[in-house]
Amino acid sequence: MSGIAFSPNGMVMDFLRSCYTQNVKFVKGDETQVTPATWYFSKPTAKPFPGEQSFTSPTWDTVHPTETEIGFDATAPRLWSNGKNLNHSAGTKFAGSKEYFLEGQDTISGLPRGVNDTPVECIAKPTGVAIGGSLAPIPTVRWCDVPFPLPIYLRCKVTNSIDCKYYTADIVVKYYPTFAGFPGGYLGIDGWYGTYTVSGVTFYCYLARYGLLPPQHCISYIWNGINTNTPMIALTWQQNPILIQNHRDEWYELNCLNVPPFYFKCQMQWTEL
Amino acid sequence: MPDALSKITFFFESNGGTAPTGWTETFYSQNANINQVLSQSLAQYVGPRALMLGVGCSLQSIRVARFPLERTTQISFITGASGTSKQYTDPATDFYDPTQVDLLVRLQTDGGKKRSLALSGLPDKVTDQLVQQGIFDFFVNGPGFKNWIKAITSLNFCIRYRVAPGPSPSYLTDVITTGQAIMVRNRKRGRPFDLFRGRRLA
């Protein structure tokens, strides 16, 4: 499948009794470019390909052979296949542009593939899951360590990677640890700044604490620029994700003595809509 | 009328123990928007057809292909159409008849074109009679059968007929306007009995 920039990756493309291998034409306007493609039985979890596509089986043609510009070459020989799955995909997402499935790709360009020939973008999260043409949410969790107590303006950088196809830039986030209520409140974070270019994504975030010493060793804290000089006794840690909707100018600063560095553990969970 | 612009194939499946049986029912349409044809079929046809099925068989999926090349296709699964509820007089416990007895239906156009359709998967109560002896009144007069015919005509499903022979045959289509149940009839499926799969002699 080298040179093909799209893959159904286990999604249901057609209904067949038996499986086979046959050449397909996959480049728009160039019928000379062919490569063998193999039918195999989909998993019970597989979804039908969401939309029109031209890579169905010539078995269903009324006139044999029916020659087409894109898709399976009905004049090419068929080689029987036992229908064994070619990868471990659940068959819920495809790889590559959706237009390629209908019109073919523009040029020969490969698709990054991993184990068992599975497209890389279908292996890792988050990526689109197609169910009837819509995207199903996939919660994705990333962890990053936030040094504490200083600096105040903590930064966390989530490096964009190839598996985040919908994230086109590095996500640089400044965390402002804040008290939304003290002492009975919770410790949240606000202020999601950065150069992320994400639309339709909901961010959830909460802080968890781990380290050598708890913050009650700190002698004071500043909340929104107000020094309360109140020793920190306890922190109520937010256990449930906080929906970060809008930036709030809340922040706090700890003035700690002889406290070795410890860390907040920031869990970011986002749901791709 | 011009040739068909899309072909709609409905896939049925019935429980057959270790070897479940299945069949398809095909119609044609003069609508080239296969996505629209698919959604309309799901909305208007699947329900009436599934309501006529006996317990044990189901309408599984739809495949709509765009003519003339038939390769641009969209498919969809059907969920919740197990055929366990029926609108007419049969009780819900009435199983479909797996004994290769179907209902012969004649579909007709205003131009006089006819097509015979073997309607499979009907409840045993409908097909439990001598073959070629007509059909029970409760079925043809019930809302189930009428709703099915109404769905076919409202969706402008067509009969496709050949007007010139091959090797490149040409076809025309006419919209189905009426449907009539003719009789219960045997319909042999599968491999002929005299061509059994046995050990071949070298």
pLDDT, one tens digit per residue, over A168-205 is 222 223 333 333 322 222 233 332 222 233 333 333 33
Q: Which of B71, B168, B169 lies nearest to residue A54, judging by beta carbons? A: B71
Which of A60, A72, A94 is the best residue to mutate to test the B interface, defined by the most B CB atoms within 10 Å of its own CB? Answer: A60
Q: Smallest CA–CA separation between A109 and chain B, in Å?
A: 23
Work out the pLDDT band at B23, boundaries 50, 70, 90: confident
State the pLDDT at residue A55: 94
Does residue B63 belong to the interface with chain A, where contact is any CB pair within 8 Å? yes
Over residues A113-172, the pLDDT tens digits come to 655 566 666 654 333 333 333 333 333 333 333 333 322 222 223 333 322 222 222 222
- Cβ distance A48 to B75 less than 8 Å, yes or no, reads yes
Question: How confident is the prediction for chain A on average, in pLDDT?
Answer: 56
| DSSP per residue, B26-68 | EEEES---HHHHHHHIIIIIHHHHHHTPPBTEEEEEEEEEETT
Contacts of residue A54 in chain B, CB cutoff 8 Å? 71-73
Q: At a CB cut-off of 8 Å and minimum separation 6, what does A19 contact?
A: A38, A39, A40, A41, A80, A81, A82, A83
- Cβ distance A53 to B76 less than 8 Å, yes or no, reads no
State the pLDDT at residue B45: 93
State the pLDDT at residue A91: 83
Q: Which of B34, B70, B169 lies nearest to residue A52, judging by beta carbons? A: B34
B137 backbone dihedrals φ, ψ, rounded to 5°: -65, -35
A151 prior amide bond cis, ω within 30 = yes
Give this complex's ipTM: 0.82
**Distance from chain centroid for Cα B177:** 16
C-beta neighbour count of A1 within 10 angstroms: 17
Q: List Cα–Cα distances, A221 to A216, A228, A262, in angstroms.
A: 10, 6, 16
State the pLDDT at residue B83: 37
Contacts of residue A56 in chain B, CB cutoff 8 Å? 65, 71, 73
Contacts of residue A15 in chain B, CB cutoff 8 Å? 11, 61, 63, 75
Gyration radius of chain B's alpha carbons: 18
- Cβ distance B76 to A70 less than 8 Å, yes or no, reads no
d(CA A190, CA A175): 6
Q: Among A18-22, A195-199, B46-50, B79-83, whose mean pLDDT is lowest? A: A195-199
